[in-house]
Every structure is written in C-alpha cells, then in structure tokens.
Structure 1
C-alpha cells in the first residue's frame, strides 16, 4: 500500500479526555461546527475561532477513576445528532450515571483456565445487586433559547463490570435513519458470562433504535436483557450484530447506491480487528424474544456475527503462557474450544487486523483500537476512499514517550481481507505522552479529526488536544 504522510494541525488544547468528535449545523446557523464530548461530561463546539460550551452534564456522570488508579472506561461515551437536528434540535447521549456504583458482578478477578471447566462458564447471578454501574441512553432537545433540555430516557442498562461499555457508541444510520447503539460485552476480560453471543443479552451487540416511535415511557426500567424491557420499547429495537467485545462505534461509507459499514473490535491479547460489511438483515427484538419463549433457534440469516468470545478477529481466542527464556516460543492455548466450533461458520472475517506484537518493519504493535472512520476527501489523495483507524498507544518500542498511531486500509470489491499501512505524522509531541483516544469526521467525510491525551488516566485533567489531520 502507498505510504502516506500527514500533518496534525491543532484545533484546541488543554481540554479533558475527548471521547467523541462530530460535526453538525446548529439550528439557524449556516456553518458546520466541530463538537467535542469529553469523558467527564462536557460537550463543546468550535466556531468563530474559539471554543464554547454546548452542554455540561458532569454532575450526572458517575465518579470516575476511583478504583482503577485513574484509568476508567465509563463516563460520557456517546453523542449523536438526529439527521434532522437542524430542524428538530434532537440529539442523543450515552453515559454512566452518577450514584449507581455497585460492587461488580464477580467478587474476584476473572481468570479462565482451559483445563478447568468450572472457570469457563460462570453465571451472572443476583443482577439487581451484583453489578458495577448503570448506563443510560437519553434523548435531548436544543430549545429555541439555545439551552439543551432532556426529553426522555430510551434505555437504562445495568453493566456487570466497569469496562467495555462501548465508546463513540451512538451514530445514526444514513440507510435506515435509526439510531445505532454499540454495546461492549460487559467487561472484565474474556467475556466471563459469554454475553456477546447470548441473543437475550443487550451486552455485546450492535442495536438499531427507532427513535421516531413513541413509547410513552419516559424512564424505562433498568435491565440487562431484551425480554426485561417493556413491550413498547422492544418494538423499537432490532439487532444488527452480535459477538462484540468493545467497539469505537460504527461508521458508514457511501459506495454507489449502498453503504459499506465499518466496525472495529478491540482485542483481548492478540489482535485488533476492523470489520466491513454491506448487506445485513436486522432481527427485530420481538422475534428474538418469541424464539426464546418457544425455545427455538431464531432465524439469524443476515445477522452479523463478529465471533467473540470464541474468536478474536480471525483467530480462536487464546490464552498466552509466556516462555521467559524464549518469547518466540510462547505457548498459546485455545480458551473456548466449544465456542470456536459453534461460531466458526457464522462469523464474518475481518477486513484487516493488526497485532499487539508485530516484528515486521513496516507494521506496529498495537494496544487498543480507538477509532475507525472512512475518508472521502480529496485533500489527502492517497487516502481518498480508504478507511482510517487509530490505536491508543504504539507498543513496538520505537516511541518514547508513548505515542499512538494512525493507519489505513481499503475495503476490497471481492470482500477478501486486506493489508494496512501506517500513516506517518510530522507532529512533535516532545516529552509529553500522546495517547490517540478518538477519531472523528465531518458530515461529508472530507475531514478527519484526532483526539489526543497526555495520559490514560481520566483523573489527570486538561491534557487533551484535538487535531485536524491535514495534507
């Protein structure tokens, strides 16, 4: 693939950890503005050469960073503007709710042992009390006086662990006009309860929500499974995909009269993966529930399955036993053999993957996928029509201090896997660490925005910079 070099042009600095970068046009305005959501609960927009607060929900956000030494995967995770936002002022938020901290689903850290079946299939019991926190998805409206106001709650989700809640988790589909929610598998590691493959579990899915349907329920119950939702909410939901571990959202690239969908799955130990698909058949949640009640296998033809927890990208999920004397001989053992077999023909293959350790000179060792966005602009011709992705922190030892990495690939017309290439950048971060935490684009996908943070701790404040990726 062609080697690409880009410039990083700073737009704003000294902000908190950016989780979502999106653009829209405010009602009554004529300029497309960049909106920046931070993990701690602020939403800013850029315009007239400065930055202005759009909404501040920090009091609504769960207290972050207490139990993980400052690292946290909760907070303000999703922001999406309705396709008719200019006319109706509607937008949507996904965040972790203040005051909902629980003890967690397991009393001890989860460590599956392929040689001990008792460790492979624990159950999430006493869900009303054994959970980590509650996430909510809400509908807001920008009033004529310019003040945002919450209208209703669409979902209240009880989460078993603090991590894998999804991020950049709300996007509208240009095909269906529906709100798309990406949910992580619930957290810990190795998906302890196999929630991502369970059709009744809300965890580990990509879900379409028809926000145009009135449910008359403004504060739904807190749930973990689809069959616990009121019927009127069930009827607004369809499932696009399952087998999700943790995703930086879903993005859409227009290709003639259809759209290529891109979704990245954050890996466990081995590999980060970017998937692409065009055709799919969403399954109404009401059909899944009916099949479950009748103890039948639902018709899942056309439903996308990314394969987790049995598969990590294109590979059976494995546990790595280190050989200290010779790391080249590290032993890898299949963790969930039965799940590998059951999902072997149902899952889709990744478009591309990159490894946590890669000795090839033109590749890189990654940590965690943090963004996947198509680029349709002409400003960087070598990237036109490609999909760009970013990793939190390069692990191959070439960067001191830590720095993230940009790369790109392309969907192939024959739908086969493709290679990827690193995108070189010219920006000098000096002695400051630069974790690449978010990737965004504008409405017509002709610009790319990169969120960078000087720390992976949400409790380290004001270390964020948002860049435009420029020629």
Structure 2
C-alpha cells in the first residue's frame, strides 16, 4: 500500500477528553461548524477560529474516575443531530447518569474477570440481581435547540442499566442516511471477555447496534430502566430494530455513499490480541417486537441477513484467547481458546473483517495496537492518496520503548473481492514533545472530505484539560 504522510493542524487545545467530533449547520446559520463533545459533559462548537459552548450537562453526568484511579469509560458518549436539525433543532445525547453509581455486577476490579476453559462455571455465568448488582445507568435523550438559542431536553428514549463501567460505546449515536433512524451502538457491558455473554443474547440490549425510530412517539417520556428488550413497554419496543449483535466495544458506525447504496463501517475493539474493522452494505434488521415474540415462543428468529460480529467467541480474526506467559521462556506466551464451543457456533454466521491489526506484530512496517478508537471513510481530494480509503485510529502504540505514548493513524481499503485487506500506517509530522498523545477520537465533516483527530495527554478522564483537536491536512 502507498505510504502516506499528513500534517496535523491544531484547531483547539486544553479541552477535556473528547468523545465525539462531528459537524453540522446551526439553524439560521450558513457555516458548517465542528462540534466537540467531551466525556465530562461539555459540547462546544468551533467556527471562524472561535470556540463557543453549545451545551454543558456536567451536573447530569455520573462522577467519573472515582473508583478506577481516574480512568473511566462512562460519561457523555454520544451526540447526533437530526437530519433536519437546521429546521427542527432536534439533537440526541447518550450519557451515563449522575447518582446512578452501583457496586458492579461482579466483585473485584471492573476488568478482573477471566474465563477458565477447564471450569464450566466461568463459561456460563449469569447476571443476577440486576436491580442491585449493576454499575450505572445510561440514558438516550432527545433535546431541542429552542428559538432563543437555548437547548432543552424534550424526552427520554431509553434508560439502560449497565453491569460494569467499561464498554459502553463511544461516539455512540449517528443517524442512518438510509432509514432516517437514530442508530445507537452499544458495547457488551464491560469487564473482560463478556462474562455473561450479553453480546450474543438476542434479548440483551448490550453488545448490539440498535435503530431507534424517533418519528414514532411511544407516548412514554420517561421509560423504565432496563437491561433486556422484553423489559421494555411494547410502545417502546415498536420503535426499535436491531441491526447487529456480537459487539465487544465500538466507536460508532459510519455511512459512506456508494452510488445508490451506503457502505457501513464499524470497528470492534479486541480483547488481548486483535482489533478489527468491518463493513457491510446489505443487512436485515430484526424488529425488537419479533425478537421478543421469538423469545416468548422459545424459538429462534430468522437471522438470515442479520449482522453478527462474532464476539465473544471471536475476537475479530482470531478465536478469543487467554494469554499466558511461558515459564521456560519469558519472551514467549501461549494462547488458549477461551470459548471453543461459541467459536464453533458463530464461525459460519459471523461477518468477516475487512482488515485486522494486532497487539503484537512482528512485521517491521506495522505496529502493536492497544484499542481501536475511530473508523471513518475519507472522500476528500485534499489528501489524494487517502481518497476512497477507510481511515482509523488506535489509542496508543503497544511498544516497549516506554513514554511518551503515541497514538496511531492508519488506513485500509475495501477490496472488490471482499477479501481481508492489509493496512498501512499514516505518518504524521507533529511534534508532541515530551507529552503523551493518546489518539482518542476520529471525526469527519458532513461530506467526509475533512478528517478531525482528537488527542489527549492522558488515559485518565480525571486529568482535565489535556485535549487537542486537530484537522488532518496534506
């Protein structure tokens, strides 16, 4: 693949950890502006070199970083503007709600679970006592920008109880240009290895890509707090369809127009081995009412055309594995399949990735990754070697050279024969000095001709004001 080098042009600095980068045109305005949502609950917009506050919901956000040494995966996770935002002022938020902190679904640290293939109990755990054994509540809300320029909440679409503090998704709300529906991308609920196998369970909200028909009014403005689709009132069930399951953790969904169709791109964050990027055009969403009906009838719904990313049996290109060091040789390790039966069951029905990259890679022109943080198609001509490609970001190089940390920018292309493709690292010339630079977010403008990169100086959301937003330029 062609070696590509780009520049990073700073747009705004000293902001809190960015979770969403996207553009829109404000009602009555004529300029497409970059909007930045931060994990702690701020939304800014930039225009003509000036940054202004659009909305500040920090009092509504759960206290972040308290129980995990400053690290957290909760907060303001999603922002989407209605396709008719310019005319109706509607926008949507996904965030973790203040005052809903719970003890967690399992004792111990949030990532402490690890299955034992020799102990069936660890392979068949159930999430019990959900009303008390949970970590927090996430909500999806509809807001409106009033004629006086002040945003106001209109209604709540979903209230979701989550088992752990991690894997809630990020950049988790987007509108589908195909269906006009709001798309919510949720992670598997957290810990490690999806201990309750929520992502493959058709009744579980966790680990799914869900369409919400915001035109349908369920007449329920404050839904009950739930974890499963069958716990929702029927009028809310009727607004929901499920596009995909088998999600571990995800940085949103992107739509690229291709003639009269749209290619969808998603990235599934790996466990310990591999990060994977998927694409699909055709899909057959299943209405939640059908999923619930099949559950009540103790039957399997028709899943032909339904997207399954394969988690937890598959970590992208590899069966999910447990890694153990080799006592005889510390430089080597052994990898044991964690969920053999599930890997077999999902082998045929799962979607294959278009590219994968690895936490350890012996090839000299590659890198060891940590976590996939953004996937976007690029349709601009400003960087000709990237036109038509899929650009992605990784949080930090998994190198042994030590600090300062550096994130990674790379790209791949979809092959016409749909086979797995390689990827290439995109070189950048920006000098971050001695400061760490975690690549936490990737965004585009409306027609995908510009790319924006969110960089943070720490992995901890509680280390405030260490963020910089760049435009990726030739």
- For Structure 1 versus Structure 2, the TM-score category normalised by the shorter chain is over 0.9
Aligned: 1:331 with 2:299 = no
Deviation sequence 1:293-321 (CA, Å, 0-9, x none): 11111100011000000000011111011
1-side partners of 2:411 and 2:442: how far apart? 13
How far residue 399 of structure 1 moved from its aligned partner, in angstroms, is: 6.9
1-side partners of 2:389 and 2:49: how far apart? 30
Q: Which residue of 1 aligns with 2:42?
A: 42
How far residue 112 of structure 1 moved from its aligned partner, in angstroms, is: 1.1
| Aligned-partner SS, 2:279 | strand
2-side partners of 1:177 and 1:348: how far apart? 24
Contact 2:136 2:165 (C-alpha < 8 Å) held by counterparts:
yes
Higher mean C-alpha displacement, 220-229 vs 388-397: 388-397
Identify the match of residue 139 of structure 2 among 136, 139, 144: 136
Contact 2:285 2:306 (C-alpha < 8 Å) held by counterparts:
yes
| Aligned-partner SS, 1:248 | strand
Equivalent positions of 1:112-261 (< 5 A) are: 112-261=115-264
1-side partners of 2:330 and 2:40: how far apart? 39
| Aligned-partner SS, 1:118 | helix
Higher mean C-alpha displacement, 314-323 vs 240-249: 314-323
The CA RMSD measured in Å over matched residues stands at: 0.9
1-side partners of 2:241 and 2:330: how far apart? 45
Task: Report the TM-score, using the length of structure 2 for normalisation.
Answer: 0.98
Higher mean C-alpha displacement, 32-41 vs 389-398: 389-398
Deviation sequence 1:321-340 (CA, Å, 0-9, x none): 11155356411111011101
Contact 1:17 1:458 (C-alpha < 8 Å) held by counterparts:
yes
Identify the match of residue 471 of structure 2 among 451, 458, 468: 468
Identify the match of residue 384 of structure 2 among 381, 384, 390: 381
Q: Which residue of 2 aligns with 1:432?
A: 435
Higher mean C-alpha displacement, 394-403 vs 19-28: 394-403
2-side partners of 1:399 and 1:67: how far apart? 26
Equivalent positions of 1:290-439 (< 5 A) are: 290-327=293-330, 329-397=332-400, 400-439=403-442
| Aligned-partner SS, 1:330 | strand
1-side partners of 2:340 and 2:395: how far apart? 30
Task: Report the TM-score, using the length of structure 1 for normalisation.
Answer: 0.99
How far residue 397 of structure 1 moved from its aligned partner, in angstroms, is: 3.8
How far residue 111 of structure 1 moved from its aligned partner, in angstroms, is: 2.2
| Aligned-partner SS, 1:322 | strand
Equivalent positions of 1:59-78 (< 5 A) are: 59-78=59-78
Deviation sequence 1:188-207 (CA, Å, 0-9, x none): 00000000000000000000
Contact 2:436 2:458 (C-alpha < 8 Å) held by counterparts:
yes
1-side partners of 2:356 and 2:89: how far apart? 38
| Aligned-partner SS, 1:288 | helix
2-side partners of 1:331 and 1:294: how far apart? 43
Aligned: 1:93 with 2:96 = no
2-side partners of 1:99 and 1:196: how far apart? 26
Q: Which residue of 1 aligns with 2:4?
A: 4
1-side partners of 2:62 and 2:416: how far apart? 45
Higher mean C-alpha displacement, 393-402 vs 75-84: 393-402
Structure 2: runs of 5 or more not aligned: none
1-side partners of 2:424 and 2:467: how far apart? 26
1-side partners of 2:217 and 2:208: how far apart? 23
Q: Which residue of 1 aligns with 2:57?
A: 57
Structure 1: runs of 5 or more not aligned: none
Contact 2:11 2:49 (C-alpha < 8 Å) held by counterparts:
no
Contact 1:358 1:396 (C-alpha < 8 Å) held by counterparts:
no
Contact 2:255 2:263 (C-alpha < 8 Å) held by counterparts:
yes
Moved runs in structure 1, 4+ residues, more than 4 A?
none
1-side partners of 2:330 and 2:178: how far apart? 47
2-side partners of 1:326 and 1:208: how far apart? 49
How many residue pairs are counted as aligned between the two chains? Answer: 471
1-side partners of 2:339 and 2:295: how far apart? 24
